[in-house]
């Protein structure tokens, strides 16, 4: 992790972002105190887990749709 002052970051923002794209991490200091960490985004975490597609589960036995059809037939619907 590289450490840069806020002034250095402002003056060299494009170069810092290029380095971040290559995987580098920066800690930005203001008046000698850390205020931010600049790091690349992990692509695997770009999509929240609740939005990711799920593989369908195949179970043995009768399918739910077949059970519904059977229930409807049994009750005369």
Q: Find the CATH number of the domain harbouring 29.
A: 3.40.1620.10
Asked whether residue 36 is assigned to any structural domain, the reply reads: yes
> Residue ranges of the chain with pLDDT lower than 70?
44-46, 77
Asked whether residue 46 is assigned to any structural domain, the reply reads: no
Asked whether residue 55 is assigned to any structural domain, the reply reads: no
| Domains held by the chain: number | 1
Where in the sequence is the domain holding 31, given as residue range(s)?
Answer: 1-40
Contacts of 39 (CB under 8 A, 6+ apart): 20, 25, 26
pLDDT tens-place string over residues 50-71: 888 888 888 888 888 888 998 9
Asked whether residue 30 is assigned to any structural domain, the reply reads: yes
Asked whether residue 58 is assigned to any structural domain, the reply reads: no
Q: How many residues does the chain have?
A: 77
- Nearest of 57, 53, 5, 7 to residue 29 by alpha carbon: 5
Give CA–CA dist 19/17, Å, rounded: 5
pTM, two decimals, is: 0.55
The alpha helices in the chain, defined as continuous H runs, are 6-11, 13-21, 64-74
């Amino acid at each position: 992790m590289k450490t840069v002052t806020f002034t250095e970051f402002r003056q060299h923002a494009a170069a810092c972002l290029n380095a971040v794209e290559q995987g580098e991490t920066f800690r930005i200091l203001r008046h000698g105190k850390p205020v931010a960490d600049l790091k690349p985004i992990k692509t695997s975490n770009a999509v929240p887990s609740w939005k990711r597609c799920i593989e369908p589960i195949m179970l043995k036995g009768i399918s739910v749709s077949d059970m519904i059809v059977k229930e409807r037939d049994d009750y005369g619907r």
